[in-house]
Amino acid sequence: MHISTEAVQIGLDWDSRTGAVTVPIYQTATFRHPGLGQSTGYDYSRSGNPTRQALEEGIARLDGGARGFAYASGMAAITNLLMLFQRGDHLIVTEDLYGGTYRLFEQIFHQYGLEFTYVDTSSLDEVAAALKPNTKALFVESLTNPLLKVADIRALSNLCRERQLLCIVDNTFLTPYLLRPLDLGADITVYSASKYLAGHNDTIAGLVVAKDPQLAERIYFLQNSVGAVLGPQDSWLVIRGMKTLSVRMDRQQENAAALASWLEGHPTVAKVHYPGLAGHAGHDLLKGQARGFGAMIAFEVTDPALVETLLLKTRLISFAESLGGVETLITFPELQTHADIKAEIRARLGINNVLLRLSVGIEDVNDLIADLEQAFAQEEKGEA
């Protein structure tokens, strides 16, 4: 069955008693036992809730994994995964990753004795060179945030398998609709489900899928013990969003390709980072391992003064953090999403004072281009 059909079917057969087409919201903390030593399969919503379970089973099917897990946020999901490790363990990590993940690693888990080395995970050689005797895992973004570098998931998974490391892939930018890392050999996928999966900028959620049943049991123990689970209302919102994942992603990708081409030809745009462009370093690799290129664009303008103009003078495109919703958003990584990364590291990576990030929505692309065009024009007229 095609993944777009699988997504639409999530939760459809959950309530056979009433035949409800959408899974009910089981807004309950606890469940009544039918008898002494007996259970309906649900005891307490931290340990399991039917609405959350429908979501967890749905994302597991979409990703081709043994089991899925839903958390209160993407950061909660990653935090839970880090509890698989212990003091002295070393992880290799994508260097230009989301700033919130970097903050979690460096300001929280570093003090508990975990070690992190940040490398360009689009280079297999750099990953191999970073290996240590105490390396336990690779944490890689399938498309990096914000520079959109492409990781060779199959090659990295093979390297991890040879060294008996866990391969954890943050697949937020591509979703299982475009890329299924577990099919390429990864052990775990993680998502900020607030983004493309929920898709409407109206909920915060995180999802994890484990490929191996034994690993899934370890993750469930941590999920239940720590308790940073997703509530039933938000679980329902993510399910609702996932049902339209394919049609949204198709439209967003189409818009992104047109916008990237338009930006590439603009005289005040110095560089466009979008893997769908033939000149992008990861274009061929992503074309070979994914069904598409996603809908995120990063671009550099020629003058820092243009940054504020584009952030504040666009009328249709909103200046806001986050991404993946139906509305097009623009943000400034240096001061917004990646502010917690040290300035010298940002400068080395290219997260600079002229870099902007676009999350392309489902609006008519001609309206989006016109909005950017009028904002650029205001700077040219000195109206910024």
**Would 3-242 and 245-380 be classified into the same CATH topology?**
no
Residues 15-28: tens digit of each pLDDT: 888 888 899 999 99
Q: Domain-by-domain residue ranges, the chain? A: 3-242, 245-380
Fold annotation for 3-242: Aspartate Aminotransferase; domain 2 (3.40.640)
In this prediction the pTM is 0.95
State the SS3 of the chain: CCHHHHHHCCCCCCCCCCCCCCCCCCCCCECCCCCCCCCCCCCECCCCCHHHHHHHHHHHHHHCCCEEEEECCHHHHHHHHHCCCCCCCEEEEECCCCHHHHHHHHHHHHHHCCEEEEECCCCHHHHHHCCCCCEEEEEEECECCCCCCECCHHHHHHHHHHHCCEEEEECCCCHHHHCCHHHHCCCEEEEECCCCCCCCCCCCCEEEEECCHHHHHHHHHHHHHHCCECCHHHHHHHHHHHCCHHHHHHHHHHHHHHHHHHHHCCCCEEEEECCCCCCCCCHHHHHHHCCCCCCEEEEEECCCHHHHHHHHHCCCCEECCCCCCCCCEEECCCCCCCCCCCHHHHHHHCCCCCEEEEECCCCCHHHHHHHHHHHHHHHHCCCC
Residues 249-297: tens digit of each pLDDT: 999 999 999 999 999 999 999 999 999 999 999 999 999 999 999 999 9
The residues annotated as belonging to the active site are 46, 98, 170, 195
Quick one: 245-380 is in which CATH superfamily? Aspartate Aminotransferase, domain 1 (3.90.1150.10)
What's the average pLDDT block by block, 10 residues per block, for the chain (384 residues)? 93 84 94 92 95 98 98 98 98 94 95 97 97 98 95 98 98 98 98 98 98 98 97 98 98 98 97 97 96 97 93 95 96 80 78 93 98 87 56
Residues 117-142: tens digit of each pLDDT: 999 999 999 999 999 999 999 999 99
